[in-house]
Amino acid sequence: MSDEPITRVRITSPRTLAARSRTRRSNAAEIDELTRLGEVYVQSLMRAQLRLAGYVVLLLAVSLGLLPVLFQVLPVDHVHVLGVRLPWLLLGVVVYPWLLVLAWWYVRRAERNEAAFIELVDRREDAS
C-alpha cells in the first residue's frame, strides 16, 4: 500500500434532475395547508363544535329562562329557606353549580369531538 491518501469519488445518478413522482400527502398536511380535503375535515369539526355550543346555550336559556316564569306561576315569593326567600336562594346559590355542570359537560363533549376528529384523520391515513 502506498502512503497517498485515497481520494473520494462522488457517484451520482443521471436521473437526479428528473421529476420525482408525487408522494401522497398525509391528512395532517392536508389540514395544515387547508387544501380542499383539509377544509372539509376542519369544517366537520367546526360544525360539531358549533352544534355542541348551540345545545349548551339552548339548555342554559331554557333552564335559566324559565325561572322567572316559574316564579310567576308558582307562589314561591313568600317561601323562606334558612331565612332567605326561595327565588333569591335559587338565583344566588343553585344557578352556579348548574353553570359548572354545564361547563364540565361542554368541555367533556368538546374533547370527545376533537378525539373523534383525530381518530377519523388517523384512520383515513392508515387506510391509504
What does the alpha-carbon distance between residue 87 and residue 74 come to, in Å, rounded to a whole number? 11
Q: pLDDT per residue over 35-69, tens digit each?
A: 777 788 888 899 999 999 999 999 999 998 888 88
How many other CB atoms are found less than 10 A from the CB of residue 41?
A: 19
Amino acid in the structure at residue 67? L
Q: Can you tell me the mean pLDDT for 89-93?
A: 83
Better-scored residue on pLDDT, 43 or 6: 43
* pLDDT at residue 47, rounded to an integer: 94
Handedness of CA 90, 96, 97, 98 (dihedral sign): positive
Grid-cell match 373523534, residue found: 116
* pLDDT at residue 51, rounded to an integer: 96
* pLDDT at residue 4, rounded to an integer: 79
* pLDDT at residue 89, rounded to an integer: 82
Q: pLDDT per residue over 11-38, tens digit each?
A: 766 665 555 555 555 556 666 666 777 7
* pLDDT at residue 36, rounded to an integer: 77
DSSP H or E run through 95? helix 95-127
